[in-house]
Amino acid sequence: MSANDGKALHDNVLRIDSRAQSWNGVTVVDVHEYTKGEVLHPLVNNEETGIAMALDEVGGVTEPRLKPDKACELDHRPNHMTLVPKGMVLWGHASKELHYSRYALLLFDLDILQRKFEEDFDARMFERPRMRFTDERIYALVRMLVDIPGNEPSMTLLGDSLTSAVFALLSSEERRGSARTRLSSQVLTLVSSYLLDQLPHQIELRELAELAKMSQWHFSRAFKASTGVSPYQWQLDRRIELVQGLLLRQDLALDAVAKAAGFCNPMHLNRVFKRRTGETPGAWRRNRQ
């Protein structure tokens, strides 16, 4: 279960398609692997700390192995994950019946993450392997991450928020009380004003956390506890409101509206706007003429 990176394919691997994006010291690789016959290869590069998560398995199953010739003793579960510490070699095995698998690799730059999360960073969570574990919350977050369009600057805050949430769930499961923390009214006003002032420009979670003088983990939880939504969702709502104001100007073409609100093209705007409002931008404008 490792991306090809231009190297020769392993035995019985017909093709590998992959796409990588990075946020917050976490690189997320979306891998589609087509196979014919039994496959065995290293799970994650042993120079990196990472997680391999099974997203789809067609025809057969995949499994992690501590030794190439020894099957995993843990029962198979859909969307299982394996954490591989840096310097350790684990193996990914695909049964001969499997002909397609999609999996995500999450590769962690622990030095960057330690600087970003400070006292919330717990390196012990990444010192031992964890095999075939599952977490519905992490799975949902990773599914959202692999669906983020490439080369879309407006998605930076979403990628930052999602990778921070994944990292926090992995490294700080014991901290339950922090979910109730809220931002003070002064800090919430400061952050909200900054988000509005920067529209529609790219915002990183780091900037907001620094304004609040909090770690990214605590800021994300406190912001959602205070507003009911994530920083990305809050910003997206304001961008949709900006779009609605621009649509009331009949002289503006849809591509100009999309550009002014930070969307890469009218198609992207169409998709997001309809999902948030139930109407396409064109229909919304016509209904309010």
User: pLDDT tens string for the chain (289 positions)?
Assistant: 444 445 567 889 999 999 999 998 899 999 999 999 999 988 888 788 999 999 999 999 999 999 999 999 899 999 999 999 998 989 999 999 999 999 999 999 988 888 777 766 777 788 889 999 999 999 999 999 999 987 677 788 899 989 988 887 886 554 444 445 889 999 999 999 999 999 888 888 989 999 998 888 788 889 989 998 889 889 999 999 999 999 998 888 999 999 999 888 899 899 999 999 999 999 999 998 7
Domain ranges of the chain: 13-146, 235-286
Per-residue model confidence (pLDDT) at position 16: 94
Q: Which CATH number fits domain 13-146: 2.60.120.10, 2.60.40.1220, 3.30.565.10, 3.40.1550.10?
A: 2.60.120.10
Query: Which residues does 221 contact at the CB level (< 8 Å), separation at least 6?
Result: 168, 178, 179, 181
- Spatial CA neighbour of 168 closest among 96, 104, 207, 216: 216
| Residue 83 and residue 130 in contact, taking contact as beta carbons nearer than 8 Å | yes
- 235-286 CATH choice from 3.40.50.1100, 1.10.10.60, 3.40.30.10, 1.10.490.20: 1.10.10.60
- Per DSSP bridges, beta strands 81-84 and 62-65 are unpaired
Report whether 264 contacts 149 (CB < 8 A). yes
Q: How many CA atoms lie within 13 A of 56 on its CB side?
A: 12
Query: Which residues make Cβ contacts (< 8 Å) with residue 238, sequence separation at least 6?
Result: 195, 196, 199
State residue 181's pLDDT score.
81
Asked if 103 and 31 touch (Cβ cutoff 8 Å), the reply is yes
Enclosing H/E stretch for 113:
helix 110-117
| Of residues 139, 134, 131, 135, the one with CA closest to residue 64 | 131
Q: How far apart are CA 47 and CA 210, in angstroms?
A: 31
Asked if domains 13-146 and 235-286 share a fold, the reply is: no
Which residues, 6+ apart, have CB-to-CB distance to 189 below 8 Å?
A: none
CA distance 233 to 235: 5
Instruction: Please identify which residue in the block is written with the tokens 């621009």.
Output: 246
196: which residues sit within 8 A by CB, 6+ positions away?
Answer: 238
**CA 156 vs CA 3, 204, 278: distances in Å:** 23, 6, 24
Rounded CA gap, 85 and 44, in Å?
Answer: 9
The DSSP H or E segment spanning 34 is strand 26-35
Instruction: Count other C-beta atoms under 10 Å from residue 40's C-beta.
Output: 14
